Amino acid sequence: MDRIARLRSALGRGVLVGDGATGTELQWLGLGPGACGEAWNLSAPDQVRRVHRRYLAAGAQLLTSNTFGGTPLALARHGLGERAADLNRAGARLAREVAGERAFALGDMGPCGGLLEPHGDVPLPRAAEAFRRQAAALLEGGADAILVETMSDPAEAALAVEAALQAGARLVLATFAFQRVPDGFRTMMGADVAGAVAVALAAGAEGVGANCGTELSLDDYLRLTSELSAAAGSAAVLVQPNAGSPALQAGRAVYPTGPEAFAAAAPRLAAAGARIVGGCCGTGPAHIAAVRAALVGGPGGAALPGPEVPR
């Protein structure tokens, strides 16, 4: 059975452990504030491998490529638009290489790098082309599936999902960044949970969910997960919360939620319907190891989940 079939089967049966933040980990390893993390896929691949290896050792069953800001449009802000294909291919290759047969490699796609028309100045065809080029390079590099994440505009998420499928992706997941409002949760662009999920599913996503977000506590994430599950129907739900909201301590941003508190929420998130639980900003290997212990038990780095591998 190939990896996609095993991933689908695993999602249908239980809970998978995602990885944690990439950006904040690379900053620990010396990436400068505001510098282009994707550039390290070519200039410092050992550091990117190191992040993936730590997550694999912590028990992550999904490794996310270091390509969040990897559309040609987003990379152009760092003067790297022309390097998009190389950086994405290299990023996917690093995740795939470290994952081996012990984890799935997700090709990561964040927002395109501007607001789409009619709200902003990026024409839809231009964004679609940017996502297609990114997705094609990620698949060339060996990504098993594509993760579209941190989306605010459902139209942009739909473009990214469709672009990934057109580029040949066999499985696409899509998650949105929500904030709390008086009547529930909305994205920055005002999309509610049901609306955002419906658009992503209609575009062809097989899994939907939430990551990151503004000022969301783990209790908020629990409510959000219930809403996502209700909206997702039979589709898998994935959630990757932040380790709380950062505070500045001695000149660096510190995330308040430690591994134990983070992991304590994991079984509740799973009970509310999450099929993948990972982490976003401020979560590291210790958070993921604790989530792994709370959800699956046992040490990290188990064999790739699938029907032929008993767990």
Which residues make up the interface to another protein (CB under 8 A)? 23-24, 27, 32-35, 77-78, 115, 119-120, 152, 179-183, 186-190, 214, 245-248, 251-253, 255, 281-282
CB of 98 to another protein, least distance (A): 24
Question: Quick check: bond before 45 cis, omega within 30?
Answer: no
CB of 187 to another protein, least distance (A): 8
CB of 180 to another protein, least distance (A): 8
CB of 307 to another protein, least distance (A): 40
Which residues lie below 8 Å from residue 53, measured CB to CB, with a gap of 6+?
Answer: 98
CA separation for the pair 95, 40 (Å, rounded): 13
Q: Which is nearer to another protein, 61 or 150 (CB)?
A: 150
CA atoms within 13 A on the CB side of 17: 37
257 neighbors 215 (Cβ within 8 angstroms): no
Name the amino acid, one letter, at 143: A
Q: Which is nearer to another protein, 55 or 255 (CB)?
A: 255
CA separation for the pair 11, 7 (Å, rounded): 6
CB of 306 to another protein, least distance (A): 36
Sign, CA dihedral 129-132-138-141, equals negative
Q: Which is nearer to another protein, 40 or 255 (CB)?
A: 255
CB of 111 to another protein, least distance (A): 10
Which residues lie below 8 Å from residue 38, measured CB to CB, with a gap of 6+?
Answer: 66, 67, 68, 69, 70, 75, 80, 87, 88, 91
Q: Which is nearer to another protein, 177 or 197 (CB)?
A: 177
Q: Which is nearer to another protein, 120 or 298 (CB)?
A: 120
CB of 248 to another protein, least distance (A): 5
Q: Which is nearer to another protein, 32 or 310 (CB)?
A: 32
Q: Which is nearer to another protein, 105 or 216 (CB)?
A: 216
> Would strands 145-151 and 207-211 be described as parallel, antiparallel, or unpaired?
unpaired
Separation in Å, CA 156 to CA 92, 120, 133, 161: 22, 12, 15, 9
Q: Which is nearer to another protein, 190 or 233 (CB)?
A: 190
45 neighbors 65 (Cβ within 8 angstroms): no
287 neighbors 260 (Cβ within 8 angstroms): no
Instruction: For residue 211, give the H/E element and its range.
Output: strand 207-211
CB of 244 to another protein, least distance (A): 11
